[in-house]
Amino acid sequence: MTQRWHAQGYDKSMAFVSRYGEELVEWLELKAGERVLDWGCGTGDLAAELARRGAVVTGIDGSADMIAQARAKYTQLDWRVADGQSYISEDAADAIFSNAALHWMTDAEGAAGSMSASLRPGGRLVAEFGAAGNIRLIREALGAAWPAALAPGAPAWPWYFPTVGEYAALLERAGLEVRMAVRVDRPTPLSDGEQGMRVWLATFANGILSGLEEDVREAVVAETERGLKATALWDGARWTADYERLRVVAVKR
């Protein structure tokens, strides 16, 4: 299943992704002139913030639509369509920054090895992405709504959500020394009122849903909404996504 991104809609309804990542920028402790790779840059807002703080930035993303939007918004920066599970930078970077992207790279060993190979010795990795319990309630409701005729139980999830221990060990195997790894609960309010969960599913689960016939897809989404309205994610007026994040700081040995 291929995740398809609609970059303009993403900027409109999912701006919180970059907003929450702004705090992560501080963890890089940037020095002017440092070369930084934004690994899974999306539409470029945080890469542009890194550049504003003096970094020489290259943003990579596997989605051509996302990169096109980034280029349109920030014409002066270096953008590349590239798979973060296999891309290796020609010039070793001082730091790699990644926000809300590594959970889409299900070849986690490949992504870790590529990031390590793209850093100079002593180079830093600062990243945040979905932890093991990320969107647990959403996954449970979507799995319960999934048509039994299509697959036994839940669909094949397109995400990689590790525990702290799993990911720390993976980075160590890739030649990165983990300086900090922590799980963070971060319930995240969604915009768009009662349509918020439907918009979220259309954005972040369309790799699963787009393979369904239109009437089946609508039935799955409606049943997922009904199931989630019995949880704390719906307050009668607004949806919240049950995000759980993993934050990590590592240095290349």
Q: Within a domain: residue 200?
A: yes
Whether the Cβ atoms of residue 220 and residue 147 lie closer than 8 Å to each other = yes
Quick one: CA torsion of 95, 120, 106, 178, rounded to 10 degrees? Answer: -80
3-class secondary-structure state, position 105: coil
Give the pLDDT of residue 22: 82
Q: Does residue 126 carry a pLDDT above 60?
A: yes
Q: What is the mean pLDDT of the chain?
A: 92
pLDDT at 48: 95
Average pLDDT over residues 134-154: 86
Percent of the chain with pLDDT over 90: 84
Q: Where are the alpha helices (DSSP H) in the chain?
A: 7-13, 16-27, 45-52, 64-73, 108-117, 136-145, 164-173, 196-204, 206-209, 214-228
Amino acid at 75: T
Domain range for 102 is 7-252
> Do the Cβ atoms of 38 and 51 come closer than 8 Å?
no
Number of domains in the chain: 1
Rounded-to-integer distance, Cα 61 and Cα 100, Å = 12
Amino acid at 211: G
The reply to whether 137 falls in a domain is yes
Q: Is residue 2 part of a domain?
A: no
Write down the residue that tokens 């590239």 correspond to.
82
User: What CA–CA distance (Å, rounded) separates 68 from 75?
Assistant: 10
For residue 155, what pLDDT band results from cuts at 50, 70 and 90?
A: confident
Instruction: Give the pLDDT mean for 178-195.
Output: 95
Asked if residue 134 has pLDDT above 60, the reply is: yes
pLDDT at 7: 52
Phi, psi of 229 (to 5 degrees): -70, -15
Say if 169 falls within a structural domain.
Answer: yes
- With beta carbons less than 8 A apart as the criterion, state whether 143 and 153 touch: yes
Q: What is the pLDDT of residue 4?
A: 61
> Both tokens of residue 116?
């390590």
The encoded tokens of residue 215 equal 């009437």
pLDDT > 70: what percent of the chain? 90
For residue 10, what pLDDT is reported?
52
Answer yes or no: is pLDDT of 153 > 70. Answer: no
Residue 220 lies in a domain: yes
Q: Report yes or no on 180 lying in a domain.
A: yes
Given a contact cutoff of 8 angstroms between Cβ atoms, the answer to whether 244 and 182 are in contact is no
Length, in residues, of the chain = 253
Q: Does the predicted model carry a pTM greater than 0.85?
A: yes
Where residue 43 falls among pLDDT bands split at 50, 70, 90? very high
Give a yes or no: residue 1 inside a domain.
Answer: no
- For residue 204, the domain's CATH number is 3.40.50.150
Question: Cα separation of 192 and 240, whole Å?
Answer: 11
Residues 73-76: contacts with CB under 8 Å, at least 24 apart: 73/43, 73/44, 73/45, 73/48, 74/44, 74/47, 74/48, 76/51
Whether the predicted pLDDT of 104 surpasses 60 = yes
- Could you report the per-residue pLDDT of 111-123, keeping only the tens digit for each? 999 999 999 999 9
